[in-house]
Structure formats: structure tokens, C-alpha cells
Chain A
């Protein structure tokens, strides 16, 4: 046990003396949360709208005012002729053009394709276009005499994208730090030759590996705390569910990621390969296939199957449920079981590889 403590102390020294890496490890979650929370957002806010209204009347003016008053849109300009519409998009002066028919708003007119009001959006960014037209349709419809359709967004009434990104960033950061850093730290010892000296000593190999994992575990817990604090107090994303279970699921994921890092370290021989393997093998799938950026349901089936092998997918799913939806833990048992199973497979495979290398 004393040996183990000496090793853990040594591992902490390695990390604490490498200031630059430490700074990156502690600063990265902050940067990512703030980036995803504020800069990279898929929300619509103050999108510029142009209006072409050939026959202004009370009704059309009311519609325009309602659009302008909403937080989603700002009416940037009124066009003088339908020919200006193309120009608006080409110069990027607005993302949406509202075109009114020449007659009263409630009378369909052939000039606008049979509709009283036509919405024209820039289809080069389809997601954005769909979102803009949806919001605008809602605003226009809310004033109509017909019974309005009421839309309610459960768990995230304001439709804030931070609710989606926070769990994703948690998955990404924890995977990166645990798996990549552990793999690199172990491989570094192989590369420098110190691993051989340790293996020739009476220390049990399991201790060497465990001692490597401990500081990264501590770092990950610190990062988890940072992310949660930033999410709650800066981004205003509440922890709707049970904090204890949220932390428990996160610890399980950290363990899975550490085991994965261990497995990578037994497969590659140098730090460069470890970096590439974790970069290409972990970062890319975690970014693209975990549901962090692209929704899994809209992927083609082969990619959906592939995404099942990405641990972060299950973690992010579980965090969304526990943290955002606030459901009880029995609704995420499947995710917990899958993560636990993955961890066991990784540990078993790496122990097997480790032994083969020695014999």
C-alpha cells in the first residue's frame, strides 16, 4: 500500500510539473462550456427579416409588428419591389423575407402561390431556414382568428441549446481527459524506458497502472465539478434531477473512459500513436456520433449502429435524462448497464493484452 501511495504521489508530480498541459486540462472545459454556451448556438435570436408588402393595411402591419416584437426577429427593412428579394439574400441583409399578397391578408392570392403570406428563407443553411420559418409561422398564426396551436417545449421551455450542449460537452471532456491522457501517460513510460525498470522491480503491474489512473480520475472529478458549476450558474441550465445520480453516472463514465485509455495504451507503442488513436478513434466518434452535434435518430442506420459503440453516446443520453429531464434513475438503467458492460470489456481486454506483452 505504501508503494502504491509513493506511485500516486509520483504521478501527481508528473502532472503538476507539466504546467502547460495542466492548464489545458483545467481550462479546456471552461473554454468549451463558454464556447458552446454562448458562441456556438443554434438558437434564433434577433434574426433579420425583410418585408415586401405591396398593399399595406392594418392587418399586414399588425403581422409585421408582431414579428418585430418577438425576440427571435428584427425587421431590418421594407422592400420596394419583389425584385429586391434576391438582392436581400445575395447580400446577406436578412435571413427571411415575409411577402404579403396584394389583397387583404385573409384573402388568398395567386401571386404568392395561393397563400396570403409567403415566407422565403435562405436554403443554403437548411436547419437555420427551417427554424426561422417555423418561428415566423408560429408568430403569424398566433394572431389569426383560427384557434391557435399551442406549442410547449418540455424540460427546456425556452428552447435553449445549452440544455443540449452541456451533457455533450461533459461527455467529450471526460472522454478526452480520461482516455487520452491516461493512454499517453502510460505510453510515455514505455517510450522513455522507465516502464521496463518498473516491471523489473517487485511492484505489481496492476499497481503501476492503477496509480496512473488515480490523478486523472481526480482531475476528471474536478472538471466535472467545473462543468456543472458553470452550467448551473453561468449558463442557467438547472440540474432538474438527482445530483447524486448524476455524479454517480458520471463516475461510471469516467471509469469507462479510464479503462478505454488503458486499453489504448496496451495497443500502441509511442505517444504519437496514442495521440492519433485517441484523437481519431475517440474524439471524432465522440464529436460526431454521440449525439453531441448531430441527432442520432436522423443518422442513416449504419451510423446509428456504429454510434452504439461510442461510450459517450450512452453517457450523454443518460445525462440528458437525469440532468435535464430530471427523471428517476430507473429510466437510465439501460445506459448504466451498457456503460458498465463496456468498462468491464475494456478492463478485461487490456489486462489480457498487458499479460501477453509480458510473456
Chain B
């Protein structure tokens, strides 16, 4: 057992000769908002998939919510929420049916699902849309709903894979209010993102380049260390070191 929400030690994933994730190590504390940054093909999605139990590590070890990801994948899966970069609710089910399905998947009792979804929907301002098919909601609302579904069962850690793709900064800001609220309740947030304004919202940020973590600190400390005005400059400086061709 371990105090940190996520501990990663020399985690490595190889596909044949290609080392997608090269012996990365880091820790994320409980209730922390951790930004996991990197260019396309840097290996961040592969690393995240391993932490979620979607993919087995080649070597190294990691624990999530105190359980080993390789040997106790079931236990890990029970204690995490996951929001994929593609919108991941069922468009042809209503808001409430989606909540019932995902609540049921995590073993929540129907009464508890009903009580909790009523509260959650009114907090989101979606109370009137409970019987609307999800596909007819605007993208910003869908993403807020998807996040709320990912933390519906009160997981210890929630993994967000580029959660706010395709929406404007104002909507993104609104999304991050939800993330802060979740972190305030003790849920650890682990998010990948492309948007550098989002990186500023994180407690700590790691930068992945060619399968390795090149930098890890608070956004302010990273800016200071690289003498950069914005996180975007920091990212540019680090990403320039990449030797791999991006885009895979």
C-alpha cells in the first residue's frame, strides 16, 4: 500500500523495437490535479492506457489508488474513472440512461444512482434535459456530462484523455471549474491536454518527450526554470528536443 494516488517506477512499454514509454517515474498525491503533457506520439496516451489497465506494461511497475496495475487490474479499475478523448457517452441513450448504465457498471445501487443523478444534473444545470438523447446536447455540455459520469461513482483517481478537444476557452474554463470541485472532494485528477492554458490550471505538470519525462514541476516553477513567459514557450523549448517524428 502507498500514500500517493499514483506511483510510477520505471514504467516501460515496448512495441517490438519501438519504446513508446521509456522508464518513466513519478508520483501524484491524493487530490492533486496532474497535467500530463507531450507532443503527439510522445507516449502519453500509451502511459495513460497502462495506468488505466487498458494495456500491460513491458517492465517497471505502477500503483493506482494503492493497487498494482499489472497484478491487480480489477481492483484498480473499480477505483478509477476514465474519460477518453473521443466523446464517450452513448448518443442514442438519454442523459439518465447513460447515468444508470455507468452507475450500474460500477456496482452502484439503483436508489443511489437516482438520488445522486438528480443532485448532479441540477448542479450541472441539466435537470431539464434528463430525458434528452445525449447526441442532441451541445459539445460543451456533453463533455461536462462525460466528466460527471466519469466521477459519478466517486473514484479515487480520474483519468482524462484530452477532455476538452474542440471547445472554446470559455467553455474549457467552465469545464475546469468541475475539475477543481472534484479535486476539492479528494478525487485525484490525471489529465492529458494539448492546450497550454489548461496546463496553467494544473497543480503540477509533466512534459513527455520521446517516451521520457523531460520536466516535472508546478507551472510557475517550469516557467521560471526555462525563463519562459508562458507554458507554451516551455512546451516549445522541450518539444524541440524530440527526435521522433510526431503524428503517430
* Residues of A in contact with B (beta carbons under 8 Å apart): 2-3, 6-7, 10, 13-14, 17-18, 192-194, 196-203, 358-359
Count the B residues whose beta carbon is within 8 Å of the partner chain — how many?
31
How many Å from the CB of B130 to the closest CB on chain A?
A: 16
Decide yes or no: A6 and B101 within 8 Å by CB, A193-B85, A201-B106, A359-B56 being known contacts.
yes
Say how far B100's CB is from chain A's closest CB, in angstroms.
Answer: 7
Residues of A within 8 A of B102 (CB): 201
The 9 lowest CB-CB distance pairs between A and B, nearest first, are A193-B86, A200-B82, A6-B104, A193-B84, A197-B88, A202-B77, A200-B52, A196-B84, A193-B88
CB distance from A350 to the nearest CB of B (A): 19
Q: How far is the CB of B115 from chain A (nearest CB, A)?
A: 18
* Contact across chains for B87 and A192 when beta carbons are under 8 A apart: yes
For residue A189, which residue of chain B has the nearest CB?
Answer: B90
Q: At the interface, is chain A mostly helix, strand, loop or mixed? A: helix
Name the residue on A nearest B53 (C-beta). Answer: A200
B54 touching A196, Cβ below 8 Å: yes
21 contacts between A and B (CB under 8 A): A2-B104, A3-B105, A3-B107, A6-B100, A10-B97, A14-B90, A18-B92, A193-B88, A194-B88, A194-B89, A196-B54, A197-B83, A197-B84, A197-B88, A200-B52, A200-B80, A200-B82, A202-B78, A202-B107, A203-B105, A358-B55
* Bound form: Cα–Cα A10–B105 in Å: 12
Selected contact of A196 from candidates B88, B90, B91, CB within 8 Å:
B88
Q: Residue B74 at the A interface, CB < 8 A?
A: yes
B216 on interface, CB distance cutoff 8 Å:
no
Q: Does B228 contact A (CB under 8 A)?
A: no
What total count of A-B pairs have CB within 8 Å?
68
Majority secondary structure, B binding face: loop
Residue in B77, B91, B92, B101 whose beta carbon sits within 8 Å of that of A200 in the complex: B77
Chain A contacts for B55, CB-based, 8 A: 358-359
Asked if B120 CB lies within 8 Å of chain A CBs, one says: no
Interchain CA distance A203-B77 in the complex, whole Å: 9
Contacts of B159 in A (CB 8 A): 200
Alpha-carbon distance between A167 and B66 when the two chains are bound, in angstroms = 58
Set A18, A192, A193, A202: member contacting B106, Cβ < 8 A:
A202
B93 on interface, CB distance cutoff 8 Å: yes
Q: How far is the CA of A17 from the CA of B136 in the complex (A)?
A: 14
By beta carbon, the residue of chain B nearest A193 is B86
User: In the assembly, what is the distance between CA of A193 and CA of B74, in Å?
Assistant: 20
Residues of B within 8 A of A203 (CB): 105
Q: Is the CB of A200 within 8 A of B106?
A: no
Q: Which residues of B contact A201 (CB under 8 A)?
A: 77, 82, 102, 105-106
> Which residue of chain A is the closest to B81 with respect to CB atoms?
A200
- Minimum distance in angstroms from A210 CB to a CB of chain B: 15
Which of A14, A18, A194, A358 is close to B54, meaning CB atoms less than 8 Å apart?
A358
Q: Are A202 and B87 in contact (CB under 8 A)?
A: no
CB distance from B119 to the nearest CB of A (A): 21
Give the residue name and chain of the A residue nearest to B161 (CB): A196
- Shortest A205–chain B CB gap in Å is 11
Minimal beta-carbon separation of A185 from chain B (angstroms):
12
Question: In the complex the two chains form, is B82's CB within 8 Å of A196's CB?
Answer: yes
Across the two chains, which residue of chain B brings its CB closest to A207? B105
